[in-house]
Amino acid sequence: MTDKVLRRDITPELESLAAQFPVVTILGPRQSGKTTLARAVFPKHEYLNLELPALRLAAQRDAVGFFKTHPAPVIIDEVQHVPELLSYVQVLADAQKRKGRFILTGSHQPRLAAGISQSLAGRTGLLRLLPFSIAELSKAGVTLERDEYLQRGFMPGVHAGGITPEVFYRSYYQTYVERDVRQLVNIASQQSFETFVRLLAGRVGQVANLHSLAGDAGVSSTTLAAWLSVLEASFIVFRLPCYFNNFGKRLTKAPKIYFTEPGLAAWLLGIETPAQAARDPLLGGLFENMVVVEALKTRLNAGREPGLYYYRDQREMEVDLLAHKGRRLLPVEIKAGMTYDPSFARHLAGFLKLAPKAETPTVLYAGDQTALTNGVVHANFRETGRIISEFDARE
How do residues 279-329 score in pLDDT, each as one tens digit? 999 999 999 999 999 999 999 999 999 999 999 887 778 999 999 998 899
The answer on 284 and 314 residing in a single domain is no
pLDDT at residue number 188: 64
Give the whole-number percent of the chain exceeding pLDDT 90: 69
Give how many domains the chain has, as a whole number: 3
pLDDT at residue number 392: 96
Check whether 252 has a pLDDT greater than 70.
Answer: no
- Does a structural domain hold residue 157? yes
CA–CA separation, 54 vs 233, rounded Å? 26
Contacts of 283 (CB under 8 A, 6+ apart): 150, 277, 336
The answer on 143 and 105 residing in a single domain is no
CB 295 within 8 Å of CB 390: no
pLDDT at residue number 251: 62
CA–CA separation, 308 vs 314, rounded Å? 20
pLDDT at residue number 327: 87
* 50 pLDDT tier (thresholds 50, 70, 90): very high
Check whether 142 has a pLDDT greater than 60.
Answer: yes
Nearest CA among 142, 137, 147, 85 for reference residue 278: 147
**Using one digit for the tens of pLDDT, what is the confidence trace for 256-290?**
999 999 999 999 999 999 999 999 999 999 999 99
**Using one digit for the tens of pLDDT, what is the confidence trace for 32-43?**
999 999 999 999
Q: Is 246 helix (H, G, I), strand (E, B) or coil?
A: coil
* 3 pLDDT tier (thresholds 50, 70, 90): very low
Final residue of a structural domain among 128, 156, 174: 128
- Does a structural domain hold residue 6? no
**Using one digit for the tens of pLDDT, what is the confidence trace for 158-202?**
998 889 999 999 999 988 887 777 777 767 677 888 899 999 999
Helices and strands (H and E) in the chain: how many = 19, 13
- Does a structural domain hold residue 2? no
Amino acid at 207: V
pLDDT higher at 272 or 115: 272
pLDDT at residue number 219: 85
The answer on 325 and 269 residing in a single domain is no
Check whether 115 has a pLDDT greater than 80.
Answer: no
The CATH code of the domain that includes 97 is 3.40.50.300
Domain, as residue range, for 163 = 134-289
pLDDT at residue number 107: 85
Burial class of residue 372 in the structure, from the number of CB atoms within 10 Å of its CB (0-12 exposed, 13-18 middle, 19+ buried): exposed
CA–CA separation, 39 vs 27, rounded Å? 15
The answer on 151 and 118 residing in a single domain is no
Q: Considering only the C-alpha atoms of the chain, give the largest distance between any 2 of them, rounded to a whole number of Å.
A: 67
* 238 pLDDT tier (thresholds 50, 70, 90): very high
How many beta carbons lie within 10 A of that of residue 280, not counting itself?
Answer: 18
* 335 pLDDT tier (thresholds 50, 70, 90): very high
Check whether 1 has a pLDDT greater than 60.
Answer: no
The answer on 249 and 170 residing in a single domain is yes
The answer on 248 and 120 residing in a single domain is no
CB 260 within 8 Å of CB 155: no
Please give the torsion angle defined by the CA atoms of residues 277, 281, 287 and 288, in that order, rounded to the nearest 10 degrees: -160
Check whether 250 has a pLDDT greater than 70.
Answer: no
CA–CA separation, 202 vs 286, rounded Å? 9
The answer on 143 and 103 residing in a single domain is no
pLDDT higher at 219 or 5: 219
The answer on 144 and 110 residing in a single domain is no
Calculate the CA 24 to chain-centre distance: 19
Q: What is the mean pLDDT of the chain?
A: 91
Final residue of a structural domain among 128, 147, 172: 128
**Using one digit for the tens of pLDDT, what is the confidence trace for 193-232?**
889 999 999 999 998 888 888 988 888 999 899 889 889 9
CA–CA separation, 163 vs 155, rounded Å? 10
- Does a structural domain hold residue 294? no
The answer on 139 and 121 residing in a single domain is no
CB 134 within 8 Å of CB 294: yes
* Average pLDDT score over residue span 364-383: 93
